[in-house]
A and B are shown apart, each in its own frame.
Chain A
Amino acid sequence: MSKNEFGTSGADLELRGVSKRFPGFTAIEELDLTIPAGSFFALLGPSGCGKTTTLRIVAGLEEPTTGRVLIGGKDVTDAKPFQRPVNTVFQSYALFPHMTVIENIAFGLRRRRIEDPLGKAREALRLVELENVAQRRPAQLSGGQQQRVALARAIVNRPALLLLDEPLGALDLKLRRQMQLELKEIQAQVGLTFLHVTHDQEEAMTMADTVAVMNKGRIEQMGAPEELYERPRTAFVANFLGQSNLFGGKVVSSSDESIVVDVHGYRVEVPRARSQRHSGEVAVGVRPEKIELHANEPVPASGINIVGPGRVTDVSFSGVSTSYQVSLPGLGVVTVFAQNRSFGPVVHEGEQVWLSWHVEHGFGLEDEPEQLPKFAADDDTQSIAAQRRRQLQTELEGA
Chain B
Amino acid sequence: MRGFGRYALAVYSVIALTFIMIPIVYTIVFSFNDARRTNIIWRGFTFDNWLQVCRAQDVCIAFGNSIIVALVATLLATVLGTMIAIALVRYRFRFRAATTLLLFLPMATPEVVLGAGLAAQFLAAGVQKGLVTIIIAHTMFCISFVVVTVRARVASLDPALEEAGRDLYGSPRQVFWRITFPLLLPGIIAAAMLSFALSFDDFIITNFNAGSTMTFPKYIYTAAARGIPAEANVIASAVFFLAIVIVIVVQVTNAARRKRLALR
A residues contacting B by CB (< 8 A) are 59-61, 80-82, 86-88, 90-92, 94-98, 107-108, 111-112, 136-137, 139-140, 153, 157
Partner of A88, one of B167, B170, B171, B182: B167
- Size range of the chain B interface in the assembly: 10 to 19
CA distance A139 to B158 in the complex (A): 14
* Cα A137 to Cα B164 with chains together (Å): 17
18 new A-B pairs (CB below 8 Å) besides A80-B166, A86-B167?
A59-B167, A60-B167, A61-B163, A61-B167, A81-B163, A81-B167, A82-B169, A94-B163, A96-B161, A96-B179, A97-B161, A97-B183, A98-B183, A111-B169, A136-B264, A137-B261, A139-B261, A140-B264
Question: Given that A98-B182, A98-B183, A140-B261 are known contacts, is A112 also in contact with B164, CB under 8 Å in the complex?
Answer: no
From residue 131 to 190 of chain B, which have CB atoms closer than 8 A to chain A? 158, 160-161, 163-171, 174, 178-179, 182-183
Q: Which of B160, B170, B182, B264 contacts A107 (CB 8 A)?
A: B170
B169 to chain A, nearest CB (A): 4
- Contact status B169-A92, CB under 8 Å: no
- Taking Cβ atoms with an 8 Å cutoff, the residues of B that contact A are 158, 160-161, 163-171, 174, 178-179, 182-183, 261, 264
B171: chain A residues at CB < 8 Å are 82, 111
| B167 in contact with A87 (CB, 8 Å) | yes
**With the chains together, A90 CA to B158 CA distance in Å?**
12
Cβ–Cβ < 8 Å partners of A157 in chain B: 168-169
Residue in chain B with minimal CB distance to A150? B164
Bound CA span A98–B180, Å: 10
Partner of A94, one of B164, B170, B182: B164
A139-B260 Cα distance, complex, nearest whole Å: 13
Asked, given contacts A90-B160, A92-B160, A96-B179, whether A61 binds B168 with beta carbons under 8 Å apart, the answer is no
Minimum C-beta distance from A156 to chain B (A): 10
Q: Which residue of B is nearest A139, CB measured? A: B261
Q: How far is the CB of A75 from chain B (nearest CB, A)?
A: 19
Chain A CB within 10 Å — which of B169, B170, B179 has the most?
B169
| A112 and B169 contact, Cβ closer than 8 Å, known pairs A94-B164, A96-B164 | yes
Q: A86: which B residues are within 8 A, CB to CB? A: 167
Is A111 within 8 A of B167, CB to CB? no
How long is the Cα–Cα vector from A107 to B174 in the complex, in angstroms?
11
Bound together, the chains give a CA A140 to CA B260 distance in angstroms of: 11
A59 to B168, CA, bound (A): 10
Give the CA-CA distance A111 to B183 in the complex, in Å. Answer: 19
Q: How far is the CB of B115 from chain A (nearest CB, A)?
A: 40
* Complex interface: chain A residues within 8 A of B170 (CB): 82, 107, 111
Are B166's CB and A81's CB within 8 A? yes
Residues of A within 8 A of B169 (CB): 82, 108, 111-112, 157
- Residues of B contacting A111 with CB < 8 Å? 168-171, 174
CA distance A91 to B158 in the complex (A): 12
